[in-house]
Amino acid sequence: MSAALKPEAPAPLVRARDLTVRFVSRDSTVHAVNGVDLDLAQGEVLCLLGESGSGKSVTLRALMKLLPKRAQVGGTIEVAGRDVQAMSERQLADFRGGDVAMIFQEPMTALDPVFTIGRQIAEAVQRHEGASRAAADARALELLELVHIPSAKRRLAAYPHELSGGLRQRAMIAVALACKPKVLLADEPTTALDATVQIQVLLLLRELQEKLGMGVIFVTHDLGVAGEIADRVAVMYAGRVVEEGPVGPFMAGPLHPYPQGLLGATVHAGMRGKRLTTIPGAPPSLERLPEGCAFAPRCNLAEPACTAAMPEARHAGPGRMARCIKVPGM
Amino acid sequence: MVVASLPGMTALSQAPDRGGPAQPLLEVTGLVKHFPIHGGLLGRQVATVRAVDGVDLTILKGETLGIVGESGCGKSTTARLLMRLLDPDAGRMVFDGETVGGSDQAGGIALRDYRRQVQMVFQDSYASLNPRLTIEETIAFAPKVHGVPAQEARERAHDLLAAVGLAPGQFARRYPHELSGGQRQRINIARALALQPRLVILDEPVSALDKSVEAQVLNLLVDLKEKFGLTYAFISHDLNVVQYISDRVLVMYLGKVAEHGPVGEIYEHPAHPYTRALLASRPSMDPGQRRTEPPLTGDPPNPVNPPSGCRFRTRCTMAEAVCAEREPAPATLMNGHEAACHAAMAGSGHSAAPRIAA
């Protein structure tokens, strides 16, 4: 299943340049994404890390052209070598599920409650590969086994509400993987799960990603989850990527003051009795973004130059980037 | 014990300590709450959710008791029972030496007085605020009900807003929808403190917040506890947060207490296999130490039909025949550390059980 999927192509699987998303209504314009550059290589897991309102989920949806019509999307998006912005609805229908698939936080709303799990997987196979019903049903069974659903044969005939939260999440992953997508987009797929189930799903996703050689973009707000699954991390703040780099050096010492603050504010073992360091204030309103660095009003290192203009991306160390004038550039 | 009071407060102040420092603030024994499930054509009862099934717990004065567990373990039902938002099917609650819900003949504390001394903060900061009341009205509401004059209640609301770090002049007249999640949770905390309670039950108070805001609220909770002489019951699924804030920890699984003890003991020497698995499930922030095998397989079972004997045995790697036959009694390990596991109980018949000293 995996061998055919690994062409030695140097071109990135996902390539977004200067991606912008605006939601315009009569009385306000929300600048959700403001110039994001993203690259995802074959077989790589990129974590988009950020708090609510940072634009991480909107970015993810833009990659699949899933945003509502009123969203104004700018910049270029190439996924698996195809220009997403230029695709027609008909092309998108082939593209979604075939080349790219998405998994969501809440499987109960992502799965159709009136069809069995088996039917929902087989439908995708029939639609995209033109397989016969029998062949598609056989694939559905194979996929349920792939995501380690116990007594898979019996579960094929189960409706989503008959499964537990963890099994439902596995079933949704099986639907997403039905047509061997090259890119898997995951929007906080483990956030709603219990601790002991979350780690199972994370390990499953990692195993599947290695087995199938997929590229994965994984949106999360949880640094621990990123530490468990990511190869590379991109931290978003107010619709921009403020820092990007390999997960190891990033976790050991972020460059940008925002992820530094985030890491300090995340409670972990051995902090008992110590006062938590916090980031003062709250993220800026996306309707009125400040000139210059959006984090400057909350940053204790800020100086006049920070609010004058948006800091350029500075490269520090292999594969590391930060948008902060305090980072020594190379 | 410091009985803190805000300046100018006369009509309502924190109730005095009655039982002395050694008397636990709240002692609960044999707490049970079952929910019937009705179904079929005639709406007969077809099953029972055994949400809380015989829980004993003690909250000492001035401490923070952390309650952890996964969904369906009964931690939120326990919180609502402690607050008496639900009536328990069985069990006894003693608040500072007085039976809760007692009558005049038997002595004890009436529910109305109990509820004034125990307040609660919920997870959903928006759903727990009245959208039609301004912040000031929300906080002043309960004191007014308890007989504080309107003017004084409003002043108290302003003092509390300042205490939770929101400028009264800026926020008092706003409505809940005009605030961020972190600010709303501060309002909920201020409202809980308006009656000068002694015990505050915090049901997942930071779970819906972003990490940077979560740290702000945790710091605030630590400060307020000190300032107002509070005792906390802190319910969460986040093991790191519970470790940070708690003095003692209670681990629940399917409506039962699996293990409880001082926070250091629970995190350094967990005795129950479920506690060990829960601790091992925490994602590590260090990508160099990724795990390859999940500590547990499967989901927590449905509390409608819990397994016989030990409820954890269906997911436990150490399960033996005895675990299905008998329910484990809490085994005392040391320093008030108890684990309900046959493997920890001497003479239980489990192969890993400690030998009985001759």
B282 and A276 within 8 Å at the Cβ level: the answer is: no
A198 vs B: CB within 8 A = yes
Strands A183-187 and A100-103, sheet pairing: parallel
- A171, A226: one domain: no
Quick check: is B31 in a domain? no
Nearest CB to A265: which of B212, B277, B278? B212
Average pLDDT, chain B: 90
Q: Per the domain annotation, does B180 fall within a domain? A: yes
* Residue from the list A196, A202, A277 with its beta carbon closest to the beta carbon of B277: A196
With H, G, I as helix, E, B as strand and everything else as coil, classify residue B227: helix
pLDDT in tens, B213-236: 899 999 999 999 999 999 999 999
For residue A132, what is the enclosing H or E element? Answer: none
Same-domain pairing of A43 and A189: yes
| Local confidence band at B321 (pLDDT 50, 70, 90 cut-offs) | very high
Q: Is residue A253 part of a domain?
A: yes
Q: Is residue A222 domain-shared with residue A312, that is, in the same domain?
A: yes
Q: Are residues B57 and B250 in contact, defined by beta-carbon separation less than 8 angstroms?
A: yes
How far B212 CA sits from the closest chain A CA (Å)? 6
A314 and A242 within one domain: yes
Domain presence at residue B166: yes
- Tell me what the mean pLDDT of segment A126-144 comes to: 94
More confident residue, B20 or A176: A176
- Say if the Cβ atoms of B284 and A271 lie within 8 Å: no
Neighbours of B285 (CB within 10 A): 20
Contact A261 B212 (CB under 8 A): yes
For the stretch A61-95, pLDDT in tens is: 999 999 998 899 999 999 988 999 999 999 999 99
Residues B239, A195: C-beta atoms closer than 8 Å? yes
Q: Is residue A85 part of a domain?
A: yes
Instruction: Clarify whether residues A213 and A309 are in a common domain.
Output: yes
Domain count for chain B, please give it: 1
Whether B285 and A266 lie within 8 Å, measured CB to CB: yes
Look at residue A6 in the predicted model and tell me its pLDDT.
46
| Residue at A328 is within a domain | no
Q: Which pLDDT does position B262 carry in this prediction?
A: 96
Same domain, A214 and A86: yes
CB contact under 8 A, B212 and A269: no
pLDDT in tens, B45-103: 888 899 999 999 999 999 999 999 988 889 999 999 999 999 999 999 999 988 998 66
Tell me the three state secondary structure of residue B157. helix
Q: How high is the pLDDT of residue B227?
A: 93
Kindly tell me the burial class for residue A283, based on how many C-beta atoms sit within 10 Å of its own C-beta (0-12, 13-18, 19 or more). Answer: buried
Domain boundary among A180, A214, A234: A180
Domain-ending residue, one of A148, A180, A212: A180
What are B275's two structure tokens?
A: 């506690």
pLDDT tens digits for range A90-134: 999 999 988 999 999 888 889 999 999 999 999 999 999 999 999
CA angle A167, A168, A174 (to 5 degrees): 90
Could you read off the pLDDT of A9-53 as tens digits, one per residue?
A: 467 899 999 999 999 988 889 999 999 999 999 999 999 999 888
Q: B277: which chain A residues are within 8 Å (Cβ-Cβ)?
A: 196
pLDDT value at position A241?
A: 96
A122 and A244 both lie in a single domain: no
Chain B hits for A228, CB-CB cut-off 8 Å, are 283-284, 287, 290-291
Q: Which of residues 258-277 of A touch B (CB under 8 A)?
A: 261-262, 264-269, 271-272, 275-277
> What are the chain B neighbours of A49 within 8 Å (beta carbons)?
none
Tell me: the pLDDT tens digits for B263-278?
999 999 999 999 999 9
Last residue of one domain, picked from the residues A141, A163, A180 = A180
pLDDT greater than 90 at residue A217: yes
Contact between B213 and A282 using a beta-carbon 8 Å cutoff: yes
Closest residue to A265, CB basis, from B215, B281, B302: B215
pLDDT class for B357, splitting at 50, 70, 90? low
Rounded Cα–Cα distance for residues B296 and A154 (Å): 22
Domain residues for the domain of A36 are 3-99+181-322
In a domain, A286, yes or no: yes
Residue B152: is its pLDDT beyond 60?
A: yes
Residue numbers in B near A224 (CB within 8 A) = 282-285
> What is the domain count for chain A?
2
- Please indicate, yes or no, if residue B357 is contained in any of the structural domains: no
Instruction: Please name which of A231, A214, A220, A250 lies closest in space to residue A14, comparing C-alpha atoms.
Output: A214
Q: Any idea what the CATH number is for the domain that residue B67 is in?
A: 3.40.50.300
- B166-175: per-residue pLDDT in tens? 999 999 999 9
Confirm whether B291 is domain-assigned.
Answer: no
* Residue A169 and residue A113 in one domain: yes
A50 shares its domain with A71: yes
A274 to chain B, minimum CA–CA distance in Å?
9
| C-alpha triplet A45, A51, A53: angle, nearest 5° | 110
Query: For residue B349, what pLDDT is reported?
Result: 87
Top pLDDT among A294 and B14 is at A294
B347: pLDDT strictly greater than 90: no
Beta-carbon contacts of B246 under 8 Å, excluding residues fewer than 6 positions away, are B64, B65, B66, B234, B263
Q: What pLDDT does B108 receive?
A: 84
Å between A83 CA and nearest CA of chain B: 34
Beta bridge partners of B66: B234, B249
Beta bridge mates, A46: A217, A232
Of A251 and B21, which is predicted with more confidence?
A251
**Comparing C-alpha atoms, which of B209, B213, B278, B202 is closest to residue B240?**
B278
Q: Does A145 touch chain B (CB under 8 A)?
A: no
Residues A75 and A133 in one domain: no
The whole-angstrom distance between B161's CA and the closest CA on chain A is 16
Please state at what angle helix A117-129 crosses helix A165-177, rounded to 10 degrees.
10
The interface predicted TM-score (ipTM) is 0.84
Indicate if the pLDDT at residue B1 is higher than 50. Answer: no
Tell me what pLDDT residue B154 has. Answer: 94
Q: State the average pLDDT over residues A170-196.
A: 92
Mean pLDDT for the stretch of residues A154-160: 94
Please tell me the predicted confidence (pLDDT) of residue B289. Answer: 85
- Per the CB < 8 Å rule, is A196 touching B70? yes
Nearest chain B residue (CA) to A164: B299
C-alpha to C-alpha distance for B355 and B358, rounded to whole angstroms:
9
Domain that holds residue B71: 56-86+109-236
The verdict on residue B82 lying in a domain is yes
Residue B278 to residue A195, Cβ atoms within 8 A = yes
CB-based burial, A106-145: b 16+ in 10 Å, e otherwise: bbeebbeeeebbbbbbbbbbbbbeebeeeebbebbbebbe
For residues B164 and B189, the answer to whether their CB atoms sit within 8 Å is: yes
Whether residues A65 and A165 share a domain: the answer is no
Closest chain A residue to B183, measured at CA? A282
Query: What pLDDT was estimated at residue B104?
Result: 60
Task: Tell me the angle at which helices B181-193 and B211-228 cross, rounded to the nearest 10 degrees.
Answer: 10
Output the domain CATH number for residue A303.
3.40.50.300
**Per-residue tokens: A315:** 């490269």
Nearest by CB: A269 against B216, B240, B297: B240
- Strands, sheet with A14-24, edge to edge from the N-terminal-most edge strand: A29-40, A14-24, A71-79, A82-83
> How many angstroms separate the CA atoms of A176 and A180, rounded?
8
- Residue-wise pLDDT for B4-51, tens only, equals 444 444 457 888 888 888 899 999 999 999 999 888 888 888 888 999
A197 and A68 fall within a common domain: yes
Within a domain: residue B321? no
On whether residue B65 sits in a domain, the answer given is yes
Task: Flag if B287 and A248 touch (Cβ within 8 Å).
Answer: yes
Q: Do B243 and A269 touch (CB under 8 A)?
A: yes
Question: Is residue A168 included in any domain, yes or no?
Answer: yes
Whole-angstrom distance, CA of residue B248 vs CA of residue B25: 14
Tokens found for residue A198? 């979350």
